[in-house]
Amino acid sequence: MLDYGHFIGGKRVAGTSGRTGDVFEPMTGDVRAKVALASRAEVRAAIENAKAAQPAWAATNPQRRARVLVRFVDLVNQHYDELADILAREHGKTVPDAKGDIQRGVEVAEFATGIPHLMKGEYTEGAGPGIDIYSMRQALGVVAGITPFNFPAMIPMWKFAPAIACGNAFILKPSERDPGVPMRLAELMMEAGLPAGILNVVNGDKEAVDAILDDADIKAVGFVGSSPIAQYIYERAARSNKRAQCFGGAKNHMIIMPDADMDQTVDALIGAGYGSAGERCMAISVAVPVGQATADKLLERLIPRVEALKVGPSTDPSADFGPVVTRAALDKIKGYVETGIQEGAKLVVDGRDFRMQGYENGFYMGGCLFDEVTSDMRIYKEEIFGPVLSVVRAKDYDEALRLPNEHEYGNGVAIFTRDGDAARDFAAKVQVGMVGINVPIPVPIAYYTFGGWKASGFGDLNQHGPDSVRFYTKTKTVTSRWPSGVKEGAEFTIPLMQ
């Protein structure tokens, strides 16, 4: 059995709190590892290491910082299979899906290699008589990221790659459910030439989170998880005078117009709704066909596809999706399905009784499909985070548009149509942060920004892209005048650039 401690000061260290948690292998249900749960003292030790190392790293020129990330990207590519295997075994997603998780994180690390350009300030010569003005971006110091179980490679890299490129030291608190990949990524960063103490991984639970939030030496914190916890972290970070970007839950709709290519639509729904067993914040969990005929056509094609979904162990490359992350998660998802039935929704495909031969103790569930779901039902209002798709029928386009606009969450949304005018109107009017037009999972590429609206996001700046550089740096503006341009006499009015 594996034993995960922490990664502090450039090396793995054993936990000292005496508290541990179980890391399961979802496809078998076995305990794969024990993970240390850090005390406040252990978190503080990581912060002290980071604080001591950060000034020299910030003083390192940005080209040299970028070269570390270039080598890191190369090392991740060399270790792709190893990382994907660890990820699949601890999370439950299939190996091909795990590789996608890694790839989307690597793309942000690649973006961060452009930090010499991204951190450039501005300059105005002759803003006034003999006066020049320029700005510079400087690192914040020690920053932190609290990341979720569902993307144990991607989201840590989204956080630490730009933060470190900007000259900060980073404290990563990954999910205690699947810490293996974050620990390995830290080792690869060291192998790439990162100085000890610049990236520390502290495993833990709420005690570690609160220690990060309350510590005055942490200047900014990023979080991805559920909305209640995102709001808690945002508010507590603000009380400690920290910057915070906190991303929460989602209920992503796909609007299906009568003119949509139905084969393309069904393919998109199957992948976006059931990929990774629905454990994605960008999963499509609500299908909204517009008009009765569209709904009937959709269900006619969708039902047999859901029934034919192949659920398998994470190591089966032919599986459509694998198990969910824990037994508790499985029980929660099944509870939502039962709630939907009680609320009056029509369960047209029921995957609750799925059993994987040879893996009877694994956390498996087949795909479930609800029809005739209404907006007052819990299965519509709340994020299920499992392989459950709800169909909400809309009589017309205006009703379909109101559904995502009036929902509590505003993470992602999609419309499938051949009508450019309808797509353009939808993109302009929908109150959601990320929009797909005939694209079911509209996760922006690394040099754009990722973030939801409403209860899906707390904070002014989003993840990756230019916002990440703004979040992890502070701007200093210098107004400069040299003696040859100084006129004699005191000035008692506000300086004017005349």
Is 368 designated active site?
Answer: no
Which residues neighbour 80 within 8 Å (Cβ) at sequence distance 6 or greater?
99, 102
| H-helix or E-strand spanning residue 23 | strand 20-25
Catalytic residue among 166, 246, 281, 368: 281
Count CB-CB contacts under 10 A for residue 221: 27
DSSP for 233-288, written as a single string: HHHHHHHTT-EEEEE----EEEEE-TTS-HHHHHHHHHHHHHGGGG--TT-EEEEE
The answer to whether the CB of 326 falls within 8 A of the CB of 364 is no
Q: Write out the two tokens for 393.
A: 């029928």
The answer to whether the CB of 481 falls within 8 A of the CB of 130 is yes
Phi and psi (nearest 5°) for 231? -65, -40
Q: How far is CA 186 from CA 69, 221, 476, in A?
A: 12, 18, 31
| H-helix or E-strand spanning residue 389 | strand 388-391
Q: Write out the two tokens for 180.
A: 């293996």
Round to whole Å and give the CA distance between 271 and 98.
15
Catalytic site residues? 281
